[in-house]
Structure 1
Amino acid sequence: MSAATAVRLDHLAIARQFADAPQGWVVPPRFDPVERWYARLHAADNHEVWLLTWLPGQQTELHDHGGSAGAFHVFSGTLTEDTVGGPAESPRVVTRDLGEGAGRRFGSHHVHRIVNRGADPAISIHVYGPALTRMTKYRLSPAGLEIRAVERAGAEW
């Protein structure tokens, strides 16, 4: 596949297609009281689709997607995304709430955290292209955005 084909792939449209057909999900959503639950719904040559569930208070750490672009769609509930931008030594955080039916595309250098700050469980569909091979986790410190860990597919998730 050419780079031009990858650019034209609409990750959010794919997420919405999966959200519109929950009867076709290969696994039903589950909620884990200890940590976020996730399962891969689909894998193709140029993208993969994941189903995630979020109980109130569950969240990701600040992370990127290892060079993959993507999107997520909120199937139910409300999720909050904290996006980190600007220079690493003086980053700024933008917060947005996304309710049921909302979605968001992101590029290959996107650093964010997703949190269920609401009172109700949430379900979301995430699409990454190409498929995730690694994720870098970050922390915000007085020195700015710092790498905390790099996780690899098949090893840490």
Structure 2
Amino acid sequence: MTAVDLRLDHLAIAAQFAAAPEQWHVAPRFNPVSRWYERLHVADDHEVWLLTWLPGQGTDLHDHGGSAGAFHVFAGTLTEDTVTTPAGAAPHISGRELGEGAGRRFGSRHIHRITNRSSRPAVSIHVYGPALTTMTRYRLGGDGLEVLRVEKAGVQW
């Protein structure tokens, strides 16, 4: 069996944190107004975030400012909608549901949104490498993908 280099595998890092909730420095909290998040860990080449999602809560379309990453569903079910742009075609959104224990890796140019469309709260672990510095928010309209704003770490979140 080949060992996985956790420094290179964001999903393995997320799964490792999900396997040891007793080591989190904070317990998950739920906010009825918006999703709750807390950074659990930061290293030279990545950071780890704990997020909670009540039914109906989600993000808008966004990227991760050039960081690659992964997320692991610790509890509940989340839906990821991903923007894809086939050659010569307009961008469109395709969705996938991820249940407890499922995860997803993504590259540095990934644009998506995550939503809890279930009737139960959800908890997830997200890993970004390098650590987030910006996130761009988008809207998909008739003219394609439109940038709404760019947010900076430490300022807007």
**TM over 0.5, shorter chain:** yes
TM-score range, shorter chain: over 0.9
Shift of 1:89: 7.5
For residues 47 and 55 of structure 1, do their structure 2 counterparts lie closer, same or farther at Cα, with a shift above 3 Å needed? same
Pairwise CA distance, 1:69: 0.1
Letter in 2 for 1:60: T
Q: Aligned equivalents of 1:18 and 1:74: distance in 2?
A: 11
Q: Deviations over 1:42-64 (max 9, x none)?
A: 00000000000000000001000
Q: Any residues of structure 2 matched to 1:71-150 within 5 Å, and which?
A: 71-86=70-85, 90-150=90-150
Cα displacement (A) at 1:134: 0.2
**Equivalent-residue separation in structure 1 for 2:139 and 2:93 (angstroms):** 12
Q: Please state whether the residue corresponding to 2:139 is helix, strand or coil.
A: strand
2:63 is matched by which residue type in structure 1?
A: D
Runs of 4+ off more than 6 Å: none
* 2: CA distance, partners of 1:46 / 1:85: 27
Amino acid at match of 2:115: V
**Residue-by-residue CA offset, 1:44-98 (whole Å, 9 max, x unaligned):** 0000000000000000010000000000000000000000011697102110000
**Residue in 2 that maps onto 1:61:** 60
1:89 and 1:143 in contact (8 A); partners too: no
For normalisation by structure 2, the TM-score amounts to: 0.93
TM-score (norm 1): 0.93
Q: Percent identity, please.
A: 72
**Pairing 1:40–2:39 present:** yes
Work out the CA distance in 2 between the residues paired with 1:137 and 1:103.
Answer: 23
Other structure's SS at 1:56 match: coil
RMSD: 1.5
Distance 1:115 1:89 in 2: 26
Matched residue type, 1:44: A
The answer as to whether partners of 1:89 and 1:145 remain within 8 angstroms in 2 is no
Alpha-carbon distance between aligned partners in 2 of 1:26 and 1:150, rounded to the nearest angstrom: 30
Gaps of 5+ in 2: none
Cα distance in 1 between the residues matched to 2:90 and 2:148: 17
Q: Which residue of 2 aligns with 1:9?
A: 8
